[in-house]
Amino acid sequence: MNHLVRNGLVTGVPKLRFTVADDCMPCKKDKQQRKSHKPKLQNSIDTPLELLHMDLFGPISIRSIGGKSFYLVVTGDFSRFSWVHFLRTKDETADILQYLILSLESLCKLKVRRIRSDNGTEFKNNLMELFCLKKGIRHEFSAPYTPQQNGVAERKNRTLIEMQGLCCRMQSFLSLSVQKPLIQLVTS
């Protein structure tokens, strides 16, 4: 609109500067970010399943069709392929991770060597510790309140949240129950 008024492309419109009130909460969250760490110049991962990044986010305000409001995102460092699982509660995390790791190892015939997550209690508990010890998996934790150290998972989460914001902006065209299949589409 400012371009039209400034260049005189529309007659009868007063010469004012038009602004848009940006009160949309998903839009504000999309623009918010912390300063990142320096990127690595060379990738040290040379085989699939050597390192898996994981993070859980939620609860989100809009539940999926099945009533699930937490998202568990697991991303392989080698190919950056992601698996997204939808959870009702955080305590389902350990069981789903164990199932995912076992099925990946059997499908790819490779061993998961390391997993990296934040210090959330959904990852830092006896169940996960015993599973990692039994399977010989090294579990690395990022420092508290530094999501930059778990950057791969956090960037994937941001992509999914941006997709959620897109769904909110398109809600006049799409029903809210379409959000879960769209997120699955983004991560595939």
| pLDDT tens readout for residues 140-184 | 988 777 766 777 777 887 787 777 666 666 654 555 555 556 566
Please state whether the predicted TM-score (pTM) of the whole model is above 0.75. Answer: no
pLDDT above 70 for 185 = no
Domain boundaries, the chain: 46-187
Nearest to 52 by CA among 146, 135, 173, 163: 135
Q: Average pLDDT in the 11-40 region?
A: 67
The mean pLDDT value of the chain amounts to 78
How are strands ordered across the β-sheet holding 70-76? Answer: 82-87, 70-76, 51-57, 114-117, 138-141
Q: Average pLDDT in the 48-63 region?
A: 85
Strands (E), the chain: 51-57, 70-76, 82-87, 114-117, 138-141
The topology under which CATH files domain 46-187 is Nucleotidyltransferase; domain 5 (3.30.420)
Bigger pLDDT: 4 vs 123: 123
The pair of three-digit structure tokens given for residue 125, joined into one six-digit string: 């508990």
Q: Residue 97: its pLDDT value, please?
A: 94
Q: Are 161 and 169 in contact (CB under 8 A)?
A: no
